[in-house]
Structure 1
Amino acid sequence: MTEPVRLWGARFRTSPSEALMRLSRAPGNYFRLVPEDLKSSIAHARELVRSGILTQEEGGRIADALTTIGKDYATGTLAPSQADEDVHTFLERVLVERLGSLGGKLRAGRSRNDQAANDLKLHLRSAAKQIANALLALQDALIAQASEHQSTLAPGFTHLQPAQPVTFAHQLLAHAQGFSRDIERLQDWDRRSSRSPLGAAALAGSAIALNPEISALELGYDAPCENSIDAVGSRDHVAEFLFVCAMIGANLSRLAEEVFLWSSRQFRWVTLDDSYATGSSIMPQKKNADIAELTRGRASRLIGVLNAMLTALKGLPFAYNRDLSEDKWASFEAIDTLDLVLPAMAGMIATMRVNADRLKTQSTEGFTLATEVADWLARSGVPFSEAHEITGALVRYCEEKGFELSELTPSDLTTVDSRLDPDLLGHLTPEAAVSARSGYGGTAPARVSEQIARLKELVSHQREWAKA
């Protein structure tokens, strides 16, 4: 029978209670850190060779054994037992079973404190790129749809009220810009998280592992942490990672909310592909945007784990405390949530069909061309405060007559105000309205085309980083 291994307890007279062990034992999904713990253990074994604790031959045997353990774990021929308190005790138990007392030498010069901090940081640095890759797939879907609809007219909204005509591509790209900043946040976070905790030991640093800068480079970091207490006691990199995930969740939820509207019977802007929609158990006619709803709901989890982590960090004495073990639960919840929702959202956006005719029809409903009147008057020398009043009167006139601004005649214009010249009518089309917004970042099709080109270039650079 496998004998349990404890990394502590020699000074205790009795064994830990079952209640204590149930509380202390790591949940099963924490063992996803096995690859990171093995990687850092191999780096630590090399450090023990440099320090003289291990011979070159012993270090090689330990590294080979750890590599084999990793392969066995990956293939499912090796798994933790109920008696293994965490990933560290699991791997030390197996290493001692395979190498005898030599396996026990690996514990010299390190602590679970720096091991735990290092394992999670390695995992998050890898996860950040996985999340970025999934976000890039969503970006590809948004860019592809935008490329198809650079000139597709649509109503733009403020306060969910018709405001001004835009191109549908411009609306899609508004979401894509936010997701690009999310990836930039991940890149920026990764740069700040490039310091290794390994070598900090419990809190004071190690008297044996004296070259943490070498181990740091072996593990893909830029350097070790400057302060050993900070190395084991800080989790601001976890909180920041969770903030980026929460921001991604908020941005996804905002896109999801628009998909509800676009696909509704009232809007009918887009039709969702059957493979990315669900139905009703009682109403056969229903086609629901469940992916969007589930994504909006899961955003609350991403915000929640950030709050949980910040609350756990508040007011802790500055060194390692077991409160910090909440970092893994919060991180894994965020990673797993995004792993589910991002591919689903990308597929839904990539496969939705856009009703361009419906969008164009609605682009001028609700007097969305009113600003064109005010701008035309301003360019004609009328103070904008007066132009605003004249335009308001023109809108009232249209409401009373029951037609849109685009239906006005020259006589209608002069009836409202003598300064409304018939030349204005040429500006009261959605095409003219969007073309007039030709400044940098505007909705004019030519500017949208440039925006797509720049975004594609940015996405290309971000993909290089994410795949590195």
Structure 2
Amino acid sequence: MAESDGATRLWGGRFAGGPAEALARLSVSVQFDWRLAPYDLLASRAHARVLAGAGLLDPDELGQILAALDDLDSACAAGQFRPVIEDEDVHTALERGLLERLGALGGKLRAGRSRNDQVATDLRLYLRDHARGLAVAMVELADALTEQAARNVDTPAPGLTHVQHAQPVTFGHWLLAHVHPLLRDLDRLRDWDARAAISPLGSGALAGSSLPLDPAAVAKELGFTAPAANSMDAVADRDFVAEFLFVTALIGVHLSRLGEEVVLWTSTEFGWVELDDAFATGSSIMPQKKNADIAELARGKSGRLVGGLVAVLTMLKGLPLTYDRDMQEDKEPAFDAIETLGLLLPALAGMISTMTVRVDRLTEAAPVGFSLATEVADWLVRRGVPFREAHEITGQLVALCSVRGCELEDLTDDDLKTVSGHLDPSVREVLSVQSALASRTTPGSTGPGPVADQLALVQHRLDSWREWAVEKVVPR
């Protein structure tokens, strides 16, 4: 039956007329799902070969269809073929392009598949492909942090808890503490990819197909590990989107924490780091300002990444099997997450790689705020004093210093004896930042030796990630 409005809709045979304008405007998704076009064409090539294998296309028809798909792919890439306002979605637009090239023969490709399994396949292909791009950018940021850490393996810094001076650490250790979350994020991406590597194509609308198709062959050609085991689950499942958005949201949280620290480090009050002019901004009214806008945007954009995850989880909650049009809302948050991180990660990498660490300011700040108090308590423990008592004695020393407005190393021998008979002048051996850092020799601690070992381990892990990040799972 001919379409009454001249559109190429993939449905309509039982309808006397076209949809109302309000429905059409609400339903249209091609403005954002057009980016799936290359992946839809990949799946169409695989589907055409399966139809030929089932005897539903002869060799000449297969050749014509594959040639038309290649031509359409090139036209899409060059911008010569674009969706029009009448196209409901990417699938409709591409079928229009195929019909323009092949006429009625183009309609044979629709046999044995539905937009339900098409879009589930396309989105998996798209996300698996772009996950590698995110991994590349994450490795670049981790490299920038690691390179700065390598230059600051023994740079003292005041470690903080509750944003209060706590114990001395090395700044290299601190920088590497931001690398490890990125490594875990990369682990999560790879774990996600293994679960997402299932092909829905061949599931049809929900029940599979009565045609003699070969879902395993399609899965292999498209870089999946296996076809879906249940056709209903295959078209209803959006776990792979929700999980992807969880990973990107957590990446956003980690970038936000890094951003917050850079904001603090570059403040006048801290002054530990200075940003390169190319990665900072100024004020339209205050000429002296140098703002860490990239770090602030890292904090701000984490909100939209978390919001995308919440939106998809909320959309999925309570949906009956199998496909529901609600699922149209799965794509924009995923696309937005990729675009957001695609902008943010390179900017952060550039900011970190070019920033100047003020070693003098860090070294000066490291002992301030009684950060060596724990060294005194540990010194007492090594003398056989129970830690509970050692903690009390050291607290009394700090209280005395607070009253006098001095640091621990400024106390006299008589002051030490007055506080506790356990204290003697030899305690001064631990009242230096250098001795505190040198004493941290256990694996994973902040001493220069363990940090150097940690640095080598991190660099090795990043080298292994470089290989995975550039791996092409989607055939071209």
Deviation (angstroms), 1:428: 0.9
1:11-90 to 2 correspondence within 5 Å? Answer: 11-90=14-93
Letter in 2 for 1:30: D
Q: Residues 302 and 209 (structure 1 numbering): CA distance in 2 closer, same or farther, change over 3 Å?
A: farther
Letter in 1 for 2:449: A
Q: Counterpart in 2 of 1:279?
A: 282
Letter in 2 for 1:375: D
Deviation (angstroms), 1:204: 0.5
**Following the alignment from structure 1 to structure 2, what is the Cα–Cα distance between the partners of residues 53 and 406?**
88
**Following the alignment from structure 1 to structure 2, what is the Cα–Cα distance between the partners of residues 408 and 165?**
20
Deviation (angstroms), 1:3: 4.7
Deviation (angstroms), 1:400: 1.9
Q: Of residues 247, 251, 260 in structure 2, which corresponds to 1:248?
A: 251
Answer whether contact 2:149 2:173 (CA < 8 A) is retained: yes
**Following the alignment from structure 1 to structure 2, what is the Cα–Cα distance between the partners of residues 376 and 237?**
53
Deviations 1:102-151 (Å, cap 9, x if unpaired)?
11100000000000000000000011111111101100100000000000
Q: Counterpart in 2 of 1:433?
A: 436
Deviation (angstroms), 1:416: 1.8
Q: Counterpart in 2 of 1:338?
A: 341
Say yes or no: does 1:109 pair with 2:132: no
**Following the alignment from structure 2 to structure 1, what is the Cα–Cα distance between the partners of residues 221 and 386?**
67
Letter in 1 for 2:275: L
1:230-269 to 2 correspondence within 5 Å? Answer: 230-269=233-272
Deviations 1:244-300 (Å, cap 9, x if unpaired)?
000000000000000000000000000011110111111111111111111111100
Q: Counterpart in 1 of 2:474?
A: none
1:391-406 to 2 correspondence within 5 Å? Answer: 391-406=394-409
Letter in 1 for 2:254: N
**Following the alignment from structure 1 to structure 2, what is the Cα–Cα distance between the partners of residues 29 and 291?**
27
Give the match's secondary structure for 1:163.
Answer: strand
Give the match's secondary structure for 1:162.
Answer: strand
Deviation (angstroms), 1:415: 2.6
TM-score using structure 2 length: 0.97
Letter in 2 for 1:142: L
Give the match's secondary structure for 1:12.
Answer: coil
1:150-229 to 2 correspondence within 5 Å? Answer: 150-208=153-211, 210-229=213-232
**Following the alignment from structure 2 to structure 1, what is the Cα–Cα distance between the partners of residues 35 and 18?**
28
**Following the alignment from structure 2 to structure 1, what is the Cα–Cα distance between the partners of residues 438 and 7?**
73
Say yes or no: does 1:313 pair with 2:316: yes
TM-score using structure 1 length: 0.98
What is the root-mean-square deviation of aligned Cα atoms in Å?
1.1
**Following the alignment from structure 2 to structure 1, what is the Cα–Cα distance between the partners of residues 230 and 301?**
37
Q: Residues 456 and 13 (structure 1 numbering): CA distance in 2 closer, same or farther, change over 3 Å?
A: same
Question: Number of residues paired by the alignment?
Answer: 467
Deviations 1:384-433 (Å, cap 9, x if unpaired)?
11000100011111112221123333333223212112111011111111
Q: Counterpart in 2 of 1:270?
A: 273
Letter in 2 for 1:236: D
Letter in 2 for 1:268: G
**Following the alignment from structure 1 to structure 2, what is the Cα–Cα distance between the partners of residues 75 and 435?**
61
Say yes or no: does 1:443 pair with 2:446: yes
Answer whether contact 1:408 1:425 (CA < 8 A) is retained: no
Give the match's secondary structure for 1:15.
Answer: coil
Letter in 2 for 1:149: N
Q: Counterpart in 1 of 2:294?
A: 291
**Following the alignment from structure 1 to structure 2, what is the Cα–Cα distance between the partners of residues 54 and 410?**
96
**Following the alignment from structure 1 to structure 2, what is the Cα–Cα distance between the partners of residues 195 and 27?**
25
Answer whether contact 2:203 2:235 (CA < 8 A) is retained: yes
Gap regions ≥5 residues in structure 2:
472-476
Say yes or no: does 1:304 pair with 2:325: no
**Following the alignment from structure 1 to structure 2, what is the Cα–Cα distance between the partners of residues 209 and 141?**
53
**Following the alignment from structure 2 to structure 1, what is the Cα–Cα distance between the partners of residues 212 and 102?**
22
Give aligned-pair identity as a percent: 56
Give the match's secondary structure for 1:305.
Answer: helix
Deviations 1:349-380 (Å, cap 9, x if unpaired)?
11110000100111011000000000000011
Q: Of residues 387, 390, 394 in structure 2, which corresponds to 1:387?
A: 390
Gap regions ≥5 residues in structure 1:
none
Say yes or no: does 1:118 pair with 2:87: no
Q: Report which stretch shifted further, 211-220 or 28-37.
A: 28-37
Letter in 2 for 1:150: V
Give the match's secondary structure for 1:164.
Answer: strand
Give the match's secondary structure for 1:100.
Answer: helix
* Segments of 4+ moved more than 6 angstroms: none
Letter in 2 for 1:294: L
